[in-house]
Amino acid sequence: MLKLFAILIPQRIYFKNVESAPDFTRCRQRDSKLNDCLKNAVPDALRRMKEGVPALSVPPLEPLHVSGMNIDAGVGPVVLTQNYRGIKLHGLTDSIITTYKADLKHYRLKTESVTPKMEFVADYVMKGRILVLPIQGKGVANITMVNLVVKHDIFGEPIKRDGEIYMHIKDYKVKFIPEKVSLYFSNLFNGDKRLGDQMNLFLNENSELVFNELKESYEKSLSSVFQDVTNKIFDKVPMNKIFLEE
Ligand SMILES: *[C@@H]1O[C@H](CO)[C@@H](O)[C@H](O)[C@H]1NC(C)=O
């Protein structure tokens, strides 16, 4: 989850009149160890942004609030319309970066992160079927991913403004590869406890199948969240203050 990962901001940014400016680590563009520097600087920046950065309108990252997400029914073994509201993502700021490849000439960033435990908690409404079983409910969902590997593929473009170059992110792709997924939906079947417990058991016994069917929708929704957060920074801080030129 990450895009949250977003990433980036590996640098010290000075804010005029802002007392609580986070003190980010700087990385130099020409440094032969740029990628190694970013590997440490990015998670460090994420932790420093736990409570958000009001000066850049970066929201708190722990937890990260996402207003909503709709998933259409789809085809195959899982046919399920889902609507999530008031989403809270917990755990992003505990992520570590395992690889970082910055190709700043082409405004490309490729990175892989591992989030030890990412919890996705939200109000949900859903209706459909999983394999042959009908499922419907309205309550609170908790989808927890353990040792979640996230591959981030980030495409930027230079935007010139007031003599500065900004690296605007125009496309942000993510892939989620969790080691384990657990799912819990409260209040399934209008609160019928027996049916709800059985369904939650069934979902967890088949969590790989269920998650694989839903993964693409989660990836799409979260990559746009990561893109937004990254652009909050990248659209406001010139590129040469994020990746130092000298
Ligand atoms: C979500 O589920 C995980 C794993 O079952 C659990 O550790 C966590 O406490 C739950 N979070 C909430 C907010 O219920």
Nearest CA to ligand 1 atom 4: 144
Task: List C-alpha distances in Å: 48 to 51, 72, 134, 215, 240.
Answer: 8, 36, 44, 29, 21
pLDDT of res. 17:
35
Q: What is the pLDDT along the chain (246 residues), one digit of tens a residue?
A: 333 333 444 434 444 433 344 667 879 988 888 999 999 988 888 898 899 988 888 899 999 998 888 888 777 888 889 999 999 999 999 999 999 999 999 999 999 999 999 999 999 999 999 888 999 999 999 999 999 999 999 999 999 999 999 999 999 999 999 999 999 999 999 999 999 999 999 999 999 988 888 888 889 888 998 999 999 889 988 999 888 886
Nearest residue (by CA) to ligand 1, atom 1, is 142
Whether 113 and 152 have beta carbons less than 8 Å apart is answered as: yes
* pLDDT given for residue 22 in this prediction: 61
pLDDT at 14: 44
Say if ligand 1 is within 6 A of residue 186 CB. Answer: no
Domains in the chain, number: 1
With a 6 Å cutoff on the Cβ, whether 204 touches ligand 1 is no
Does this model's pTM top 0.75? yes
Any ligand 1 atom below 6 A from CB of 121:
yes
Cβ neighbours around 134 below 10 Å, total? 11
Rounded CA separation 219/202 (Å): 23
Q: How far is CA 244 from CA 1, 2, 11, in A?
A: 27, 24, 8
Q: Cα(190)–Cα(144) distance, rounded to whole angstroms? A: 23
Tokens of 130: 């999983």
The confidence score (pLDDT) of residue 32 equals: 84
Question: What is the domain-level CATH number for residue 157?
Answer: 3.15.10.30
CA of 173 to the centre of ligand 1 (A): 27
Is-cis flag, bond preceding 10, omega within 30? no
144 lines ligand 1 (CB under 6 A): yes
Q: How far apart are CA 12 and CA 5, in angstroms?
A: 18
Does 142 contact ligand 1 (Cβ within 6 A)? yes
Q: Which two tokens stand for residue 16?
A: 């005029």
119 C-beta closer than 6 A to ligand 1:
yes
Amino acid 147: pLDDT:
98
Q: Which domain range does residue 100 map to?
A: 4-242
CA of 236 to the centre of ligand 1 (A): 36
